[in-house]
Amino acid sequence: MTPDASLSPQTPDWVKDAVFYQIFPDRFARSGRVGGMNLQPWGEAPTFHKYMGGDLWGVLDKLDHIQSLGVTAIYFCPVFQSASNHRYHTHNYYEVDPMLGGNEALRALVDACHVRGLKVVLDGVFNHASRGFFQFNDLLEQGPDSAYRDWFHVEAWPLQPYDDTRPANYVSWWGNRALPKFNTGHPGVRDFLWDVAEHWIRFGIDGWRLDVPNEIDDDSFWQEFRRRVKGLNPDAYIVGEIWGDAGRWLQGDQFDAVMNYHFARSCLAFFGANMLDHPMNERSGVGRVESMNAETFAARMVEVTQMYHPEVVSVQLNLLDSHDTARYLSAVGGDRSAFRLATIFQFTYLGTPCIYYGDEIGLPGGPDPDCRRAFPWDEAQWDHDTLNLIRTLTAARHASRALQRGSFEVLHAQAEELVYARKHNSGAAYVAMNTAPEPRELPSRGVQPGRYRDVLSGQTVEVGENTTLPVPGRWAVVLVASD
């Protein structure tokens, strides 16, 4: 969809400079404050149903680590009461899961984050509820006499929420009878969900990530959602999970941005070109990814910058992986250089980078549930080179308006070589990337002559009219103006 030039979306300014960190609460950190439960040993192979017991108190305990990464915002997978370790089966939209520490823990966490200057974005699952959701439970108990009969899509009676040998007789998410789909055309449902959105904004959260929002195929629902959220906090961030063309929702009247899977797929295709684990990706959310050379990748990334209005592009959530995909490191066959190159690109490209918890220390993981492993807090297990790289990149990004808000201009793209500029009225930054295994001399054409600092090596680089840019194999240089 071509952006409508007559519309000018208003997006939260803080997101343009943010670095996000995504947390899957059950697997990040266990505080020990929530007891009396049957839990998996921490670090055991994850399953679809067992709990590791991570909680929000545990996140609070680890805020020093999160902040040390240069992170300025946290996006949490669902935290509301649910009978599932991922909590996409919502039981109560007004209560944080007791296993996570309840509303008390979220209150303490949000307050502590705000003191540190960290924003908090929660996951909103508004397309469907669960079999344990009170209103649906009333429907199961009362049948056609339920006060909530029209809150869901009933097709016949009786309902069969657990017997897979019989038709469920109600509409559910992708046929999963554990997830009854809301009838969002019903006034009671609409008011309920909008009130949930407003309730947690009043509580103090800084935005919503919306789960499968395209499956609420109703622009007016999301337009009112935005009106209410922005009415309480004009700077709230609304980001949708849309895997394809999201132009319909990004005209300025619904979402601010979407999770940028166009970005993720392209980074797999170029930086992981020769190492892609095709069977793994085909089982994962991203699907099959075909390799790209530098020319194709550069053209695609320019195209991605032009898909939506510039205000939207500047706040797109740029991710390499998530709880719905294999981790990038595993998707490229464990090649750490591919992940590091992709991370360098992620932090020097237009939009807002998002780190999936554990990626910073080299945590691997295949498709769900393996991509949801427990964070290993034993530092002996960490990839410290990757950790230091991410800290270096976040520091460079925070120090450079060009890396945060500059334009994206490709200067050279050939085979395994890519050079691009991030230009801002305060100055420019330049990135040269070499995905070949051997060192290369990359052309400096288009780079303003002068003295620069390579933020990755800390070395001073002099660029003249006819010089080249030496780049080690499977590495990059990121040039900012020398102090």
Cα gap 154→135, rounded to integer Å: 13
Cα gap 314→309, rounded to integer Å: 9
Residue-level pLDDT at 3: 45
Position 191 pLDDT exceeds 90: yes
Residue-level pLDDT at 355: 98
Position 30 pLDDT exceeds 70: yes
> Which ranges constitute the DSSP H helices of 73-186?
102-115, 134-142
Provide the β-strand partners of residue 453. 460, 480
The amino acid at residue 179 is L
Q: Are 25 and 76 in contact (CB under 8 A)?
A: yes
Cα gap 160→166, rounded to integer Å: 7
Q: How confident is the model at residue 285 (pLDDT cuts 50, 70, 90)?
A: confident
- Quick one: which of 5, 8, 7, 3 has its CA closest to 311? 8
Q: How confident is the model at residue 8 (pLDDT cuts 50, 70, 90)?
A: confident
Position 4 pLDDT exceeds 60: no
Assign residue 102 a region (left: φ > 0; alpha: ψ between -120 and 50; beta: otherwise): left
Angle in degrees, 0-180, between the axes of helices 294-305 and 261-271, rounded to the nearest 10: 170
Q: What pLDDT, in 10s, does the model give residues 107-117?
A: 999 999 999 99
Collapsed DSSP state (helix, strand, coil) of residue 170: strand
Q: How confident is the model at residue 368 (pLDDT cuts 50, 70, 90)?
A: very high
Q: Quick one: average pLDDT of 320-340?
A: 97
CA distances (Å), 120 to each of 195, 224, 364, 397, in order?
A: 19, 22, 25, 20
Options 123, 211, 321, 368, the catalytic residue: 211
Question: Which CATH number does 13-127+184-399 carry?
Answer: 3.20.20.80
Who's near 290: CB < 8 A, 6+ residues apart?
269
Q: Quick one: average pLDDT of 39-48?
A: 97
The amino acid at residue 377 is W
Position 180 pLDDT exceeds 60: yes
Q: Where are the domains of the chain?
A: 13-127+184-399, 405-481
Cα gap 468→442, rounded to integer Å: 6
First to last CA, the chain: 43
In the residue annotation, 441 being an active-site residue is answered as: no
Position 5 pLDDT exceeds 70: no
Mean pLDDT (the chain) is: 96
Q: What pLDDT, in 10s, does the model give residues 129-138?
A: 999 999 999 9
Please count the residues of the chain. Answer: 483
Position 364 pLDDT exceeds 90: yes
Options 241, 256, 277, 416, the catalytic residue: 241
pTM of the model: 0.97
> C-alpha angle with apex 354: 348 to 360, nearest 5 degrees?
90
Surface-to-core class of residue 409, CB atoms within 10 Å of its CB (0-12 exposed, 13-18 middle, 19+ buried): middle
- pLDDT greater at residue 14 or residue 466: 14
Position 1 pLDDT exceeds 80: no
Q: What pLDDT, in 10s, does the model give residues 414-466?
A: 999 999 999 999 999 999 999 999 999 999 999 999 999 999 999 999 999 88
Do the two domains 13-127+184-399 and 405-481 of this chain adopt the same fold?
no
Residue-level pLDDT at 7: 63
Q: How confident is the model at residue 65 (pLDDT cuts 50, 70, 90)?
A: very high
Q: How confident is the model at residue 2 (pLDDT cuts 50, 70, 90)?
A: very low
Range 405-481 has CATH code 3.90.600.10 = no
Q: Quick one: average pLDDT of 42-52?
A: 97
What proportion of the chain, given as a percentage, has pLDDT over 70?
A: 98
In the residue annotation, 211 being an active-site residue is answered as: yes
- Quick one: which of 12, 47, 45 has its CA closest to 119? 12
